[in-house]
C-alpha cells in the first residue's frame, strides 16, 4: 500500500485546480445568461489585442465578462499543465497519469471549442462548449478523490449483491441526469421549445432516480456509499429548488402576483447559479458512481459471479 499512497502535494494541487476551474464555469454561466458570448468577434485576441494586453479592468459590460471568462480559462490551463507535471513526477499509478492526461487534453479542447464558438459565431458550438465543461470538471473531481487518502480507506460493503444494485442505480441516475443536463443546455443556448416543455417535468424523474440511488447506497452497508449517495440527493434537491426559482425569475408566477423582470440582477444570478449547481450535481454523481465501482474489486471478481444474487435482490426491490 505504501508504494501507491497518493502524494499530498498532488492532492492539494488537484483540489486547487478544481476550485479554480469553477471561475471560468461560473463566469461562463453568466456570459450565457446575459448573451455576451460574442462580445468580441476575434479569438484568441480580444479586439485585436493579446490576452494579457487587453485592458480588461477598464472594460465594462459584456466585454468585461467575456474577457474575464477567457482569462479564467487561461489560468485553468496553466494550472492543469502544472498538475500534469506534478502527476508525472510524483505519482507512480498509471491510472492517475492517464486521468491527468485526459484532463489536460480536455482543457485544451475546451479552450479550442470556446474559440471556435467565437470564430464561427455558432450557438451549437456554445452548446457543446457548455456540455463538455461538465465532462472535464467531473474528471477533475475524480482526480481529487483518487489522490486522497480516503481512496484507500473506504468503508467496506457488507453485501456484494447490493453493491452491484447500487452501481446499476447510480448509472441509471447518471443517464437520467445527463439527459436533463442536455435539455437544460438546449433551453439555455438555443431556446429549444421542446426542452422548455420537457425539462421542468423531467426533474421529477431525476429526483426519483436520486432517491433510488440513496436507498441502494444505504443498503450496501458502506458508510462511504451512504455518504456519497446522500450528497448526490442533496445536490439534486438543491438543484430542483433552484429550478423552481429559475422559472419564477424567468417567467414569473402571475397567479401568485410574481412578475419576472427580464435581465434583472436577481434573474441573472439565479439562472447562472442554476447552471453551476447543475454541473456540480453532475460531477458529484459521477464521483459517487466511481466510488461505488472502486469498492467492487474487494467484493467480487466479476459481475457474473453475483448475477443470481443481484437478480434476486432486484426482484425483491420490485
316 and 231 together in one domain: yes
Contact 212, 169 (CB under 8 A): yes
Q: Which of 153, 169, 201 is the last residue of a domain?
A: 153
Q: In terms of domains, do 275 and 196 share one? A: yes
Decide if 113 contacts 129 (C-beta within 8 A). yes
Whether residue 318 is found in the same domain as residue 186: yes
Look at residues 153, 184, 200 and tell me which one is the last residue of a structural domain: 153
Assigned C-alpha cell, 270: 439565479
Look at residue 154 and give its three-state secondary structure.
coil
CA distance 115 to 32: 15
Query: Do residues 246 and 272 make contact, with C-beta atoms less than 8 angstroms apart?
Result: no
Nearest residue to 24 (alpha-carbon basis) of 58, 75, 60 = 75
User: Considering its fold, how many domains does the chain have in total?
Assistant: 2
State the Cα–Cα distance between residues 164 and 270, nearest whole angstrom.
37
pLDDT in tens, the chain (318 residues): 444 444 788 999 999 999 999 999 999 999 999 999 999 999 999 999 999 999 999 999 999 999 999 999 999 999 999 999 999 888 668 889 999 999 999 999 999 999 999 999 999 999 999 999 999 999 999 999 999 888 877 666 677 889 999 999 999 999 999 999 999 999 999 988 888 889 999 999 999 999 999 999 999 888 889 999 999 999 999 999 999 999 888 888 877 777 778 888 999 999 999 999 999 999 999 999 999 998 886 554 444 444 444 444 444 444
Cis peptide before 44 (omega within 30 of 0): yes
Question: Cα–Cα distance between 187 and 191 in angstroms, integer?
Answer: 4
153, 187, 215: which is the final residue of a domain?
153
- Angstrom distance (rounded) from CA 275 to CA 268: 11
Same domain, 13 and 46: yes
Residues 231 and 281 in one domain: yes
CB 213 within 8 A of CB 169: yes
Q: Are residues 11 and 28 in the same domain?
A: yes
146 and 178 co-located in one domain? no
Residues 263 and 302 in one domain: yes
- The range of the structural domain enclosing residue 190 comes to 155-318
11 shares its domain with 70: yes
Whole-prediction pTM: 0.89
Residue 283 parent element (H or E): helix 265-295
Amino acid at each position: 500500500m505504501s508504494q501507491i499512497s497518493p502524494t499530498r502535494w498532488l492532492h492539494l494541487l488537484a483540489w486547487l485546480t478544481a476550485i479554480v476551474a469553477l471561475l471560468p464555469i461560473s463566469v461562463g454561466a453568466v456570459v450565457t445568461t446575459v448573451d455576451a458570448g460574442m462580445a468580441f468577434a476575434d479569438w484568441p485576441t480580444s479586439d485585436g489585442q493579446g490576452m494579457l494586453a487587453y485592458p480588461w479592468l477598464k472594460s465594462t459590460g459584456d466585454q468585461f465578462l467575456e474577457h474575464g471568462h477567457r482569462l479564467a480559462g487561461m489560468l485553468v490551463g496553466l494550472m492543469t499543465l502544472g498538475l500534469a507535471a506534478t502527476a508525472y513526477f510524483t505519482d507512480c499509478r498509471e491510472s492517475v497519469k492517464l486521468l491527468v492526461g485526459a484532463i489536460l487534453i480536455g482543457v485544451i479542447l475546451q479552450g479550442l471549442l470556446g474559440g471556435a464558438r467565437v470564430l464561427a459565431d455558432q450557438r451549437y458550438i456554445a452548446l457543446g462548449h457548455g456540455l463538455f465543461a461538465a465532462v472535464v470538471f467531473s474528471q477533475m473531481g475524480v482526480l481529487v478523490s483518487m489522490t486522497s487518502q480516503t481512496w484507500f480507506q473506504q468503508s467496506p460493503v457488507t453485501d456484494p449483491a447490493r453493491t452491484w444494485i447500487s452501481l446499476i442505480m447510480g448509472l441509471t441516475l447518471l443517464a437520467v441526469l445527463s439527459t436533463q443536463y442536455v435539455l437544460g443546455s438546449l433551453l439555455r443556448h438555443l431556446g429549444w421549445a421542446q426542452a422548455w416543455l420537457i425539462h421542468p417535468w423531467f426533474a421529477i424523474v431525476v429526483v426519483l432516480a436520486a432517491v433510488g440511488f440513496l436507498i441502494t447506497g444505504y443498503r450496501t452497508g458502506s458508510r462511504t456509499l451512504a455518504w456519497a449517495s446522500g450528497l448526490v440527493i442533496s445536490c439534486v434537491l438543491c438543484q430542483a429548488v433552484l429550478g423552481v426559482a429559475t422559472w419564477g425569475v424567468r417567467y414569473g408566477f402571475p397567479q401568485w402576483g410574481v412578475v419576472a423582470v427580464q435581465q434583472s440582477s436577481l434573474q441573472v444570478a439565479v439562472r447562472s447559479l442554476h447552471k453551476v449547481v447543475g454541473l456540480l450535481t453532475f460531477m458529484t454523481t459521477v464521483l459517487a458512481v466511481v466510488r461505488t465501482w472502486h469498492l467492487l474489486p474487494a467484493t467480487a471478481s466479476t459481475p457474473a459471479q453475483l448475477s443470481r444474487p443481484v437478480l434476486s435482490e432486484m426482484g425483491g426491490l420490485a
